[in-house]
Amino acid sequence: MKNSKTINAVASAILGVVTILGAEAWAGQQPETTTSTPEQGGMMMGQGMMGPGLMMPSMDPARGRELFASKGCVVCHSINGVGGTDAPQLDASTMPRLMNPFEFTAKMWRGAEAMIYMQREELGEQIEFTGDELADIIAFVHHPEEQKKFSKKDIPPRIEELMHHMDEDQTEEHMMEHKADETKD
């Protein structure tokens, strides 16, 4: 029983250190055990941290801001009140202080069916992400300073056009429902 408690305590301590190192790397403060090469597209964590051959991609919130708009995430999600309302807002203030990026991805995975349906409905196709692009978007979603820079100016004309078209469709739908309700009375 005593060995079991010791093992649990050691495992908890290791998990805590890995979480802190990962959070520092994620925040752009790479710990000393980090090495990176341009060919890797990310950083390798020290031996035993993530496992042999595994890497954590670099996470660029500025690039994530650009991708959030250009990939069309902004059509359904909003940041700073800019964007759609069909999906949860993604303001950094609503996110946990420390977040495992894999958990964020897991939440997306659990909602994938609905998100893909909406992407096809609103954008005409499913959004495709590389791992690096997704890492950058996750960094942006959790970076309050970068989010302060986000505005309608970031939205490409093609995406802006889709958003206006959606607003018109929703207004027209609402008016038709209202007329149908009046006819029933």
Q: What is d(CA 48, CA 16) in angstroms, rounded to the nearest whole number?
A: 14
Q: What is d(CA 139, CA 103) in angstroms, rounded to the nearest whole number?
A: 13
> What does the pLDDT read at residue 168?
58
Are 140 and 146 in contact by the 8 Å Cβ rule? The answer is yes
In this structure, how many other beta carbons lie within 10 angstroms of the beta carbon of residue 10?
10
Instruction: Using alpha carbons, select from 64, 59, 108 the residue that is nearest to residue 88.
Output: 108
Q: Please say if the pLDDT value at position 72 is more than 70.
A: yes
Q: pTM score, two decimals?
A: 0.65
Q: Is 41 left (phi over 0), alpha (psi -120 to 50) or beta?
A: left
In this structure, how many other beta carbons lie within 10 angstroms of the beta carbon of residue 80?
16
State the residue for tokens 């889709």. Answer: 162
Q: What is the pLDDT of residues 125-167, one digit of tens each?
A: 999 999 999 999 999 999 999 999 999 999 999 999 988 776 5
> What does the pLDDT read at residue 176?
56
Residue 78 vs residue 35, higher pLDDT: 78
> What does the pLDDT read at residue 180?
58
| Strand order from edge to edge, sheet including 55-57 | 35-37, 42-44, 55-57
Secondary structure letter of residue 179 according to DSSP: H
Q: What is d(CA 153, CA 8) in angstroms, rounded to the nearest whole number?
A: 50
SS3 (DSSP) at 166: helix
Q: Please say if the pLDDT value at position 90 is more than 80.
A: yes
Residue 70 — very low, low, confident or very high, per pLDDT cuts 50/70/90?
A: very high
Residue 181 — very low, low, confident or very high, per pLDDT cuts 50/70/90?
A: low
The mean pLDDT value of the chain amounts to: 75
Bridge-based pairing of strands 35-37 and 42-44 is antiparallel
In this structure, how many other beta carbons lie within 10 angstroms of the beta carbon of residue 131?
12
Q: What is the pLDDT of residues 92-137, one digit of tens each?
A: 999 888 888 999 999 999 999 999 999 998 889 999 999 999 999 9
Are 99 and 8 in contact by the 8 Å Cβ rule? The answer is no
Residue 49 — very low, low, confident or very high, per pLDDT cuts 50/70/90?
A: low
Query: What is the sign of the dihedral through the CA atoms of 60, 65, 69 and 70?
Result: negative
Are 127 and 118 in contact by the 8 Å Cβ rule? The answer is no
Q: What percent of the chain has pLDDT over 90?
A: 46
